């Protein structure tokens, strides 16, 4: 006796018709008929009376119905228990660009609701992170300036303003052209915007020095090693207290989006689906 046979029995009992039960279960009528006959053979009794208007339970069919209802209640309770467990636990692989200052708010919202879910954060530049999402090696990611991709869902969270920062309060284009530029590795869209602007100003072969973290870049700018293009929000306090100074770039190069992405064809587990919903809630309230 199989569970699916009991489900078929329950459906025929509910609809009082083999044809209507077959339609509700997306089975052909002959399949439902054969499974009911098999069940009757196993129990060595007749479960339904067949007539022109449909079917009616026999006395033994009514007895079986009582047991089937109890079995289905237990099965539903078991499925519900494990679904709740799946939704409240598990692991999510998340890619992040470290310059996203609002990320802790998102993570805090999620952790409060789903404390048992483990979050694994992978930090890199946008190009590398995006490729890992495309290859389904990350569940989702926070990136900047993401271009459309046919396999990727994108949600723009907010716009960032990029500013060129220095430890001196006055800079002209000549000073900038002769400066050392502190940047992330290729694939960073802040670097892409900076290089595009330098090209537009006919600044050829700029002196670029790559760094691995935003903290190191900011510290190096404060020490006078060079200048850099970073989100204004990440240095707001330093600008206000005079530790750093900013130089405004044209809007074309200074505006950049912060985006949340995930694979459109990827089978999302419950924790990832819940995380995506949390990000959507954050975007709607922010």
User: Which of 84, 106, 125 marks a domain boundary?
Assistant: 84
CA 86 remoteness from chain centre: 16
Contact 99, 191 (CB under 8 A): no
pLDDT at 163: 95
User: Which of 84, 119, 136 marks a domain boundary?
Assistant: 84
Claim to verify: residue 145 and residue 268 sit in the same structural domain:
yes
Residue 131, domain CATH:
3.40.190.10
pLDDT at 242: 92
pLDDT at 85: 53
Claim to verify: residue 61 and residue 22 sit in the same structural domain:
yes
pLDDT at 88: 57
pLDDT at 45: 93
pLDDT at 178: 92
Query: What is the domain extent for residue 202?
Result: 160-256
pLDDT at 81: 64
Number of domains in the chain: 3
Beta strands in 90-175 (DSSP E): 90-96, 117-123, 140-144, 152-166
pTM: 0.65
Low-confidence ranges of the chain (pLDDT < 50): none
pLDDT at 149: 87
Residue 229 and residue 161: Cα distance in Å, rounded? 10
pLDDT at 98: 82
Q: 80 CB contacts (<8 Å, ≥6 apart)? A: none
pLDDT at 89: 65
Helix (H, G, I), strand (E, B) or coil at 180: strand
H helices present in the chain, as ranges: 3-15, 18-25, 29-43, 59-88, 103-113, 126-134, 173-177, 189-200, 214-222, 236-240, 251-254, 270-285
User: Which of 61, 84, 107 marks a domain boundary?
Assistant: 84
pLDDT at 37: 93
């Amino acid at each position: 006796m199989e569970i699916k046979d009991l489900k078929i029995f329950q459906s025929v009992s509910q609809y009082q018709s083999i044809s209507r039960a077959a339609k509700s279960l997306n089975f052909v009528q002959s399949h439902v008929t054969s499974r009911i006959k098999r069940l009757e053979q196993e129990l060595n009794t007749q479960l339904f009376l067949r007539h022109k208007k449909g079917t009616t339970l026999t006395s033994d069919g009514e007895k079986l119905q009582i047991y089937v209802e109890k079995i289905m209640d237990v099965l539903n309770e078991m499925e519900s228990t494990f679904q709740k467990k799946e939704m409240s636990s598990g692991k999510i692989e998340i890619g992040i660009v470290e310059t996203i200052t609002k990320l802790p708010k998102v993570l805090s919202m999620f952790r409060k609701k789903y404390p048992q879910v483990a979050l694994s954060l992978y930090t890199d530049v946008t190009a590398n992170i995006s490729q890992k999402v495309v290859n389904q090696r990350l569940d989702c990611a926070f990136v900047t300036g993401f271009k459309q991709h046919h396999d990727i869902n994108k949600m723009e969270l907010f716009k960032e303003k990029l500013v060129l920062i220095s430890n001196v309060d006055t800079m002209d284009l000549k000073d900038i052209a002769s400066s050392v530029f502190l940047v992330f590795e290729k694939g960073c869209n802040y670097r892409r915007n900076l290089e595009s602007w330098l090209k537009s100003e006919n600044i050829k072969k700029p002196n670029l020095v790559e760094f691995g973290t935003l903290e190191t870049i900011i510290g190096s700018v404060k020490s006078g090693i060079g200048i850099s293009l970073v989100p204004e929000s990440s240095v707001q306090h330093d600008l206000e207290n005079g530790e750093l100074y900013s130089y405004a770039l044209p809007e074309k190069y200074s505006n950049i989006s912060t985006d949340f992405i995930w694979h459109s064809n990827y089978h999302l587990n419950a924790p990832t689906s819940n995380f995506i919903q949390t990000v959507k809630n954050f975007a709607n309230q922010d």
